Structure 1
Amino acid sequence: MAQQAQYPEAVEILQHFSLSEEKMHEIIHRLTKEMNMGLKKETHPRATVKCFVTYVQDLPTGKERGKCLALDLGGTNFRVLLVTLKSETDVDTESKSYVISKALQEGPGKQLFDFIAECLSDFCKEHKIEKDNIPLGFTFSFPCKQNGIDNGTLVAWTKGFQADGVVGKNVVELLREAINRRGDLKVKVVAILNDTTGTLMSCAFRERNCRIGMIVGTGSNACYVENTSNCETFEGYQTSSKPNMIINCEWGAFGDNGVLDFVRTSYDKTIDLESVNPKKQIFEKSISGMYMGEAVRLIVVELMEKGVLFKGRTSQTLQQKWIFNTRYITEIESDSPGHHRNAAMVLDQLGIRTTNERDLACLRFICEAVSVRSAKLAACGLVALINKMNAKDLVVGIDGSVYRYHPHYHALLMENMNLLLKGSVKFQLMLSEDGSGRGAALIAAVSNK
């Protein structure tokens, strides 16, 4: 690329983001080792990749029918959904979103769950189902240790949440208590899951051989179908009549023990220190949408300070941490090659007016390097899971804003997975249709049977 030659300083920085095939295979090897530690009873307590048992052992058959509710809490917006399963191809979904204020995210946990119950009650009254005792699946996309299909203990808040009195508690119980305090609502909370499990379930309803669910959005995580006999932290792992168990990897924490330091950059370390959870979720911080934009911003600011980019221009806005939204990366990379209209518009919003083609091309070059590394790391994760299952033909269900909206992410995943698998596996990447909503309803339907 011409812009690479024109900006040796940028090239030098971005070399640190480049991952060779050799390094990618090493990442797969290390992740597999960490996952095996998570699955084994003896090593589980000290494992960083926890591989939590989800207690979901039945995948959809496609014959599930009837009404189910879903609650989806995974970030600043949460949703209530009513899903009516009419046939395999006819699924009716009605939903409503609610905003969780910063005060609720950081205040007492009781207030947070009272608010959720209030919204659930309003929604059910609107649809005249408040007394119908409909089964509800609760998508709770934060690290949880499950002790049953309807029992999940919050291990740690992520994504900026810090509500008091929730860590270490069974969040299903907190939800049930909040519903009971109201006294105006009859629903049956039958299952708790995270968004990866929901993604796998929603895709498996349409594609029977879906075996992995992955999220690349604000955060990143994956789940997969493991042999029950390998799930040593599951009480009945040796005697269970059911051969499969969905495992929630919680792979965001891969590298928390230093095993990823060989591919981390100084920018990753800065982002980690500036985050609300330093030294935690190291893998996620190199992949997900919450952090990609900040990596771009740090590089751009450094190049400006060196007098390489946007010569003579300064921007107070761009000096603000976390101001460079990952959405900007998607917009900049959506420009057709050689055109930089979106890049100029993004910079304008950040207080820099420029039409300098070389500078705009360099900005895109930086965005691409961050995106490519994210996709390469996600591909390593998926290949580790495929190898772990020894699968030869499977569907991977994927959701999350980065995968959904980034113009090249799907292609980058395909390219890198093909590079690593060398044609040994037939796989399809499938965009989930609302995994955290429809998937939660499907788990409620399957569990309620």
Structure 2
Amino acid sequence: MGRDGERQQSRTWTRGGGGGGDLLTQLRSADSSVAPVQCASGKTDFAAERRQSAIRKESSIRSTLCARLLSALRQVYRPEKPAEPSLRAPTGSADRLETRQRSSFAVHPDLTTSLFSPHWYESYTSKMSTEEPKKSDKPSASADKPPTTVSGATGTPRKSMSSGTTYRRGSTSHRRASGSVSMGEAGKSGTWHTRTHEHEDHPHASKKDMAQHVRRLEQVFTLTPQRMRMIVDAFIDTLEIGLAEAGHAVPMIPTFVFGFPKGDEKGPFLAVDLGGTNLRVCHVELEGDGKFEITQSKYRLTEEQKQGEGQELFDFCAECLASFLHDQYGDEDGNLNLEDDIALGFTFSYPCIQERIDQGVLLRWTKGFGAKNVEDHDVVEMFKKSLEKNKVPIKLTALINDTTGTLVSSHYVDPKTRIGVIFGTGCNAAYMEKVGNIPKIKDLGLPEDAEMAINCEWGAFDSEKHEHLPRTKYDITIDETSNKPGQQAFEKMIAGLYLGEIFRLVTCELIDDGVLFLGQNTYKVEKPYAFDTAFLSLIESDTTDELLLVTGLFTHFFQLDTTIPERQFFKRLAQLIGTRAARLSACGIAAICSKMGYVDDGCHVATDGSLYNKYPKFPERIHEALVDIFGEKGRGILTHHAEDGSGVGSAIIASMTHKRKQEGLYEHV
């Protein structure tokens, strides 16, 4: 698709409830439209009354579910009116107006439409037949085609079972069989689990069964304070090794961003942010005193661009920048009226080894990217080549990581900020380190007391020997089936890209064990990454007594019926996975705080990313974990929402670098 087709209008996204109006009014009006039914003789028609009672129940459940869903969606992703072309950021970070697009994990595009379908209640209330289906009723493959075997929970072919497997639960024997069935469309197939026994009125696992599995999973996913302290100690050792040795798994990359901003930086700057989902182009006007104005446009990245030829990806970046410049600075004749020496900061949120601030060789793709012929190449040179090809008259001043930008931009408005972290599609951290504590760059001749931002790239922690992180069999499966097996072990346990898949693998294990969804078609659940982390967020946010939001999610996205014990299990599973991610995240923060001596006096940690900003109770769980690790001193380590690191941070670093080069400081880097 062309650039124009992928461009997105900037929107303002906030958190909160409210509204809902016309849709809920129409839904709820069904309750008041039902009148008592009487026969001509004046007696009550009980059959009609039962029908109307069912209608009222349907309307009530439907209204409740829709209301809860709307509220939950607003808590997670709530678009408001499009942002003005230029937005001013107040001095304080807490009340800053955010210009933030939908981030790392997105709500399924069919979520609002399918749950508001007028036929949702029919599929919700209809039960699958417990009798063996007749041959004429059962889907069948054509006679000239062999049966299709679909993948199981871990992506391995499921063995065909003609006679089934007999297992016991309580005093009743059950027979479970698996087979592939045609789904009607060419190339689609699914797995159908059936069970036959003398009591057909219990198609689901009991509350007792679910409680047993909850207790088992609590032991698997729970991190004790003692275990977290052990992880922190190992993390500190890893950070020290990364500072001393080049080529370590956690590379501790020197960024050549020297010191924090003073807050008096002024002037116009450009920023290009190549993120995991979107490309963003920004014009930032720094006004000093922690104030700035930002104008931005976003362009959706396609899967073809993420996995295709690398130079074409950078061509797309240059084309979008050219389009943005013509919109902002072009005259009627198409000429650009640019300010003199306007500097460009390029935010590239993937690990690069840098020898100076305007150069960087990509170590490895992360966040699901796999563009060809980019790894082991200088991404700045590739981008410059594309800029020249598209005749964009801009000088690229600085290559930065989004986490480094988060650290710098947040310090610009909150001088107490000492660490920047991101918990979104991936995870990472940055902080300021004395040059004298970075042995691997001693030959550069930089002053030992100078401060330089370090891009940790800590997602690779414990990726080599797997000695410290409490990896489960589900984490191992995710690693082995990922596009980068053996890498990013820490990231794969806490990042938003993977939490939904952990949830799915646990669910599929219980399906294969004959615990969940017997007698129902589970082919949609068995598709890898069928659950994204937004689903877990919504499941955790469901506060209805019968967990109706969970009901709707499973009914409409997977066509699966659930009972209250099963829905309670799913909510508890989401809590366990989300809590473990938050507590592991706290271990990384605690390691930097311990290493730098921030524990006694406390510090502010600028935190960004969709997981931190959108996932229920994620910040609170980080704070609880810090107290578990450090005791009462942990309360002095405060995380707060970060400023725009990839846009504003990039512009600030471009400003600082431009000024440093003008003053002749460390010109060789």
TM-score range, shorter chain: over 0.9
How far residue 282 of structure 1 moved from its aligned partner, in angstroms, is 0.4
Structure 2 contact 307–369 (Cα < 8 Å) conserved: yes
Q: Which has the higher contact order (CA 8 A, sep 6+)?
A: 1
1:157-176 pair list within 5 angstroms: 157-176=365-384
Q: 1:242 to 1:98 in 2, by over 3 A?
A: farther
The one-letter amino acid of 1:356's match is: T
Paired position in structure 2 for 1:352 = 559
1:207-356 pair list within 5 angstroms: 207-235=414-442, 239-240=446-447, 243-260=450-467, 263-336=470-543, 338=545, 340-354=547-561, 356=563
Q: Percent identity?
A: 34
Normalised TM-score (structure 2): 0.64
How far residue 33 of structure 1 moved from its aligned partner, in angstroms, is 0.9
1:32-181 pair list within 5 angstroms: 32-40=236-244, 43-45=245-247, 47-128=248-329, 130=336, 131-132=338-339, 133-181=341-389
For the pair 1:26 / 2:230, whether they are aligned, the reply is yes
Structure 1 contact 136–189 (Cα < 8 Å) conserved: yes
The one-letter amino acid of 2:246's match is: H
RMSD: 2.0
The one-letter amino acid of 1:256's match is: S
Paired position in structure 2 for 1:393 = 602
The whole-number CA distance in structure 1 between the counterparts of 2:442 and 2:318 is 32
**Higher radius of gyration, 1 or 2:** 2
1:4-19 pair list within 5 angstroms: 6-19=210-223
For the pair 1:434 / 2:644, whether they are aligned, the reply is yes
For residue 624 of structure 2, the aligned residue among 412, 415, 421 is 415
The one-letter amino acid of 1:162's match is: G
How far residue 337 of structure 1 moved from its aligned partner, in angstroms, is 6.7
The one-letter amino acid of 1:440's match is: S
Structure 2 contact 232–590 (Cα < 8 Å) conserved: yes
The one-letter amino acid of 2:645's match is: G
The whole-number CA distance in structure 1 between the counterparts of 2:584 and 2:273 is 27
Structure 1 contact 294–323 (Cα < 8 Å) conserved: yes
Larger mean CA deviation between 347-356 and 318-327 belongs to 347-356
3-state SS of paired residue (2:326): helix
How far residue 409 of structure 1 moved from its aligned partner, in angstroms, is 0.2
Q: Structure 1 regions of 5+ residues with no counterpart?
A: none
| 1:50-93 Cα deviation digits (max 9, x unpaired) | 11111111211111111111111121311001111224353211
The one-letter amino acid of 1:277's match is: K
Structure 1 contact 231–237 (Cα < 8 Å) conserved: no
Paired position in structure 1 for 2:658 = 448
The whole-number CA distance in structure 1 between the counterparts of 2:399 and 2:584 is 28
The whole-number CA distance in structure 1 between the counterparts of 2:469 and 2:287 is 51
How far residue 423 of structure 1 moved from its aligned partner, in angstroms, is 2.5
How far residue 326 of structure 1 moved from its aligned partner, in angstroms, is 0.6
Structure 2 contact 434–448 (Cα < 8 Å) conserved: no
3-state SS of paired residue (2:256): coil
How far residue 242 of structure 1 moved from its aligned partner, in angstroms, is 5.2
| 1:165-206 Cα deviation digits (max 9, x unpaired) | 2111221111111111222x2212111111110111111011
Q: 1:6 to 1:63 in 2, by over 3 A?
A: same
Larger mean CA deviation between 340-349 and 133-142 belongs to 340-349
| 1:346-378 Cα deviation digits (max 9, x unpaired) | 212332343522111110111111111101110
Q: How many residues align?
A: 444
The whole-number CA distance in structure 1 between the counterparts of 2:387 and 2:353 is 22
| 1:91-110 Cα deviation digits (max 9, x unpaired) | 21111111222222222211
Paired position in structure 2 for 1:191 = 398
How far residue 404 of structure 1 moved from its aligned partner, in angstroms, is 0.9
Structure 1 contact 114–178 (Cα < 8 Å) conserved: yes
3-state SS of paired residue (2:213): helix
3-state SS of paired residue (1:91): strand
Structure 1 contact 136–190 (Cα < 8 Å) conserved: yes
| 1:200-244 Cα deviation digits (max 9, x unpaired) | 111101111211111110111111111211012224677416521
3-state SS of paired residue (2:558): coil
Q: 1:239 to 1:286 in 2, by over 3 A?
A: same
Normalised TM-score (structure 1): 0.94
For the pair 1:404 / 2:606, whether they are aligned, the reply is no
Q: 1:150 to 1:4 in 2, by over 3 A?
A: farther
| 1:24-69 Cα deviation digits (max 9, x unpaired) | 11111111111111111xx333x22111111111211111111111
Structure 1 contact 310–359 (Cα < 8 Å) conserved: no
| 1:234-268 Cα deviation digits (max 9, x unpaired) | 24677416521111111111111123465110000
3-state SS of paired residue (2:529): coil
Larger mean CA deviation between 253-262 and 173-182 belongs to 253-262
The whole-number CA distance in structure 2 between the counterparts of 1:12 and 1:213 is 35
The one-letter amino acid of 1:139's match is: T
Q: Structure 2 regions of 5+ residues with no counterpart?
A: 1-205, 331-335, 660-669
